[in-house]
A = this chain, B = another copy of it.
Amino acid sequence: MPETPTSARKSNLAPLLDGRRRVVIESVFPEVDGGRFAIKRVVGETVRVEADVFSDGHEVLHCMLLHRRQGDRAWLETPMEELGNDRYTATFVVGEQGVYEYTLTAWIEPYATWARGLGRKVEVGQDVSLDLVAGADLVAAAAERATGVDAGALSTLANRLRSEEPIAVPVELALSEETASLVGTYPDREHATSYERELRVVVDRERARFSNWYELFPRSAAEEPGRHGTFADVERRLPYVAQLGFDVLYLPPIHPVGRTMRKGRNNALVPEPEDVGSPWAIGAEEGGHTAIHPDLGTLEDFRRLVAAAERRGIEVALDLAFQCSPDHPWVSEHPEWFKHRPDGSVQYAENPPKRYEDIYPFDFESEAWWELWQALLGIVRYWIEQGVRIFRVDNPHTKPFAFWEWLIGEVKREFEEVIFLSEAFTRPKVMARLAKLGFTQSYTYFAWRNTKHELIEYFNELARGRQREFFRPNVWPNTPDILTEYVQHGGRPAFVTRLVLAATLAASYGIYGPAFELCENRPREPGSEEYLDSEKYQLRHWDLARPDSLSELVARINAIRRENRALQSDWSLVFHHTDNEQLLAYSKSDERSNVVLCVVNLDPYHRQSGFVDVSLAHLGIGEGPFQVQDLLGGGSFLWQGPRNYVELDPGVLPAHVFAVRQRVRSERDFDYFS
């Protein structure tokens, strides 16, 4: 870099270092909050970067996208392509887990600018003899920068441009693609502009993007009614979970449950002696967040469960609920981590006038916040040591953002493969911030998006909005806290509809079972989203063999998800027009090799029919008929053109999940399908 005059350095223009740096780089995308946060990808995905790049004048520019793994010194460079309107683009692939960095650099190409001018002058018959000498000088300068064979080739080239041959010869040489390429290989980057920021990509493993979650309460997993379930019971449940096609088994907190202020069945304030309390009231004399509820088994049992699940391709996910029951050992060991009331008692959780007296929140404003942070990180580290790599984080929005950013950063620096799911059902900006600061996946508003308009608006935002760069949705039709009116009233057909929507609209989804597949939909009271006899406060016994169970349908939809890469990512989602407000149509595709088109009847009560107007371009369909094969209900149809008739009966099956294929056109096809 040439020296900058002192007075320039002292002048008003801080960003100025070199007055000859003429190229400007701005409006880089993706870039989250001016580079404050990273974007997210999974291994093997592509990052497509765009930027506005221009200089004064009418010069030919060369723009490079730079990327590297964090920690590497050398950048890998990719030339960027011009899109028009001064916009450039290039892509890079993130091949490994961890953090990548990317930035841009651009410079003026005097030779290319010169050659373009030469071409135009030659076209109109101007004398270019002097131009050729100027071009030769540029080539000679490139020769100075070149090494090896190319240095010689460029010197020769420079001499030939200066030669006395008939002018058409050097002109042709100057304008040839080989010359452009050879000279362009040795650019003068002394005054190149580097984009002022290095942006980051957090690269996760594929499960961060495509995951199938099943939540169950281990204590309800006993085969015989009334007995407290154990890890061994859960282990015996694994074949069932595997058969259903899930790859993440999420367990609510497995720790000792507090006794003080324990909640009874249906959230009763005064429990019966046999009541088991809420697993989220963590900690008792047996231990806290690193202890295991004695009735569930031992650490050994837990590790065996994790290993057994792994053999079936299932990962066990734990709940990180950073709060304590009044009996948690830390309440007495670390009173400084809790707020105290004027009478000396510890402040329980409250959202006035609601009180949660079985829960003590941590005081993140404690003078001892740093020790608290480390202790909480210690909990995560402990379970990672036991083989856990996925955490569902309970109510992250009630702990400081800075804490999560630090904790997730610390964990992922050491264990890149760890996945954190944010359970924040709260205001949109808070949810977005949690995703930005590092949560791998986020719960969504899906459960409350039921109409066609709501679903289209919300999933367009999730799949196309700018926040998709960091917010990975994980959609759940039900959870232990969420029993929506839609399934309360719509019953079994509503469960089926919500299952199909979740499993085909989103690459990551989950159900809370066996409540879901057994269509559990009795609310604690009218207007409540709480279950009657909720497992949160009592043991339940589920009859998995019930003939009306949705287990086979769940298994089928998960098999479809496994077999169709189109359903394993979110961004390709496109909605198609239908002429019926109860019919929702959409498709997803995997670079066109796999295209899935869904049509869902949103009305759980009535048969609905209508015409679907598909965008053939989005389906990758050209002229002529194409086959849609119903992967869910079976049957194939030969469709022709964009407009086709559909009829769906919620009593039978409220959805088509079509694989779309352009057929080789032949009369036989018509015979066969029509």
Asked if A350 lies at the interface with its beta carbon under 8 angstroms from chain B, I say yes
Asked if A343 lies at the interface with its beta carbon under 8 angstroms from chain B, I say yes
Asked if A526 lies at the interface with its beta carbon under 8 angstroms from chain B, I say no
Alpha-carbon separation in the docked complex, A302 to B268 (Å): 92
Across-interface contacts of A365 in B (CB, < 8 A): 20, 22, 191
Asked if A148 lies at the interface with its beta carbon under 8 angstroms from chain B, I say no
Across-interface contacts of A369 in B (CB, < 8 A): 19-20
Give which listed residue, B341, B351, B413, contacts A58 with CB less than 8 A: B351
Determine if A8 and B370 form an interchain contact, defined as CB atoms under 8 angstroms apart.
yes
Q: Mark A98-124, 1 if CB is under 8 A from B, else 0.
A: 000000000000000000111011011
Task: Give how many A residues have a beta carbon under 8 Å from the other chain's beta carbons.
Answer: 68
Across-interface contacts of A191 in B (CB, < 8 A): 365
Give which listed residue, B11, B86, B130, B403, contacts A343 with CB less than 8 A: B130
Asked if A674 lies at the interface with its beta carbon under 8 angstroms from chain B, I say no
Determine if A406 and B134 form an interchain contact, defined as CB atoms under 8 angstroms apart.
no
Determine if A133 and B342 form an interchain contact, defined as CB atoms under 8 angstroms apart.
yes
Give the nearest-CB partner of A52 in chain B.
B429
Asked if A5 lies at the interface with its beta carbon under 8 angstroms from chain B, I say yes
Across-interface contacts of A427 in B (CB, < 8 A): 54, 85-86
Q: Mark A10-32, 1 if CB is under 8 A from B, else 0.
A: 01110110011110101100000
Determine if B56 and A410 form an interchain contact, defined as CB atoms under 8 angstroms apart.
no
For the complex formed, measure the closest distance between the CB of A501 and the CB atoms of chain B, giving whole angstroms. Answer: 26
Give the nearest-CB partner of A374 in chain B.
B7
> Taking A86-B429, A427-B54 as contacts, is the C-beta distance between A402 and B19 under 8 angstroms?
yes
Asked if A634 lies at the interface with its beta carbon under 8 angstroms from chain B, I say no
Across-interface contacts of A24 in B (CB, < 8 A): 401, 433
For the complex formed, measure the closest distance between the CB of A164 and the CB atoms of chain B, giving whole angstroms. Answer: 15
Across-interface contacts of A166 in B (CB, < 8 A): none
How many monomers of this protein are in the complex? Answer: 2
Determine if B117 and A352 form an interchain contact, defined as CB atoms under 8 angstroms apart.
yes
| One of A326-334, A392-400, A512-520, A641-649 contacting the partner | A392-400
Asked if A33 lies at the interface with its beta carbon under 8 angstroms from chain B, I say yes
Determine if B22 and A401 form an interchain contact, defined as CB atoms under 8 angstroms apart.
yes
Asked if A605 lies at the interface with its beta carbon under 8 angstroms from chain B, I say no
Across-interface contacts of A542 in B (CB, < 8 A): none
> Taking A353-B121, A398-B57 as contacts, is the C-beta distance between A19 and B429 under 8 angstroms?
no
Asked if A529 lies at the interface with its beta carbon under 8 angstroms from chain B, I say no
> Taking A124-B353, A134-B342 as contacts, is the C-beta distance between A8 and B54 under 8 angstroms?
no
Determine if B34 and A428 form an interchain contact, defined as CB atoms under 8 angstroms apart.
no
Give which listed residue, B16, B117, B133, B406, contacts A402 with CB less than 8 A: B16
Max chain B Cβ within 10 angstroms of own Cβ: one of A8, A12, A52, A428: A12
Determine if B54 and A405 form an interchain contact, defined as CB atoms under 8 angstroms apart.
no
Determine if A22 and B364 form an interchain contact, defined as CB atoms under 8 angstroms apart.
yes
Max chain B Cβ within 10 angstroms of own Cβ: one of A20, A85, A433: A20
Determine if A20 and B364 form an interchain contact, defined as CB atoms under 8 angstroms apart.
yes
Q: Mark A376-411, 1 if CB is under 8 A from B, else 0.
A: 000000000000000000000111111101100110
Across-interface contacts of A409 in B (CB, < 8 A): 11-13
Q: Mark A348-372, 1 if CB is under 8 A from B, else 0.
A: 0011110000000000110001100
Give which listed residue, B137, B364, B433, contacts A19 with CB less than 8 A: B364
Asked if A664 lies at the interface with its beta carbon under 8 angstroms from chain B, I say no
Alpha-carbon separation in the docked complex, A341 to B364 (Å): 70
Alpha-carbon separation in the docked complex, A302 to B110 (Å): 42
For the complex formed, measure the closest distance between the CB of A58 and the CB atoms of chain B, giving whole angstroms. Answer: 6
Chain A residues 109-166 with CB under 8 Å of chain B are 116-118, 120-121, 123-124, 126, 130, 133-134, 137
Give which listed residue, B11, B22, B123, B413, contacts A400 with CB less than 8 A: B22
For the complex formed, measure the closest distance between the CB of A195 and the CB atoms of chain B, giving whole angstroms. Answer: 12
Give the nearest-CB partner of A350 in chain B.
B117
For the complex formed, measure the closest distance between the CB of A430 and the CB atoms of chain B, giving whole angstroms. Answer: 6
Give the nearest-CB partner of A342 in chain B.
B133
For the complex formed, measure the closest distance between the CB of A86 and the CB atoms of chain B, giving whole angstroms. Answer: 5
Give the nearest-CB partner of A399 in chain B.
B56
Q: Mark A417-439, 1 if CB is under 8 A from B, else 0.
A: 00000000001111001000000
Give the nearest-CB partner of A5 in chain B.
B370
Alpha-carbon separation in the docked complex, A413 to B13 (Å): 11
Asked if A373 lies at the interface with its beta carbon under 8 angstroms from chain B, I say yes
Give the nearest-CB partner of A411 in chain B.
B12
Asked if A36 lies at the interface with its beta carbon under 8 angstroms from chain B, I say yes
Chain A residues 28-60 with CB under 8 Å of chain B are 33-34, 36, 52, 54-58
Across-interface contacts of A11 in B (CB, < 8 A): 406, 409-410
Alpha-carbon separation in the docked complex, A124 to B350 (Å): 14
Alpha-carbon separation in the docked complex, A20 to B399 (Å): 10
Alpha-carbon separation in the docked complex, A117 to B19 (Å): 59
Give the nearest-CB partner of A196 in chain B.
B36
Across-interface contacts of A20 in B (CB, < 8 A): 364-365, 369, 400
Which 7 A-B pairs rank lowest in CB-CB distance, beginning with the nearest? A117-B352, A34-B34, A12-B409, A133-B342, A120-B352, A19-B369, A124-B353
Add 17 more A-B contacts to A8-B406, A11-B406, A126-B353 (CB < 8 A).
A8-B370, A11-B409, A12-B410, A16-B402, A19-B369, A19-B403, A20-B400, A24-B433, A26-B433, A27-B429, A56-B399, A117-B352, A133-B342, A133-B343, A134-B341, A134-B342, A137-B342
What are 28 contact pairs spanning A and B, CB under 8 A?
A: A7-B370, A8-B370, A8-B373, A12-B413, A13-B409, A15-B36, A16-B402, A19-B369, A19-B403, A20-B364, A20-B369, A21-B402, A22-B365, A22-B400, A22-B401, A22-B402, A24-B401, A26-B429, A27-B429, A55-B401, A56-B364, A56-B397, A56-B430, A85-B427, A120-B353, A121-B353, A130-B343, A191-B365
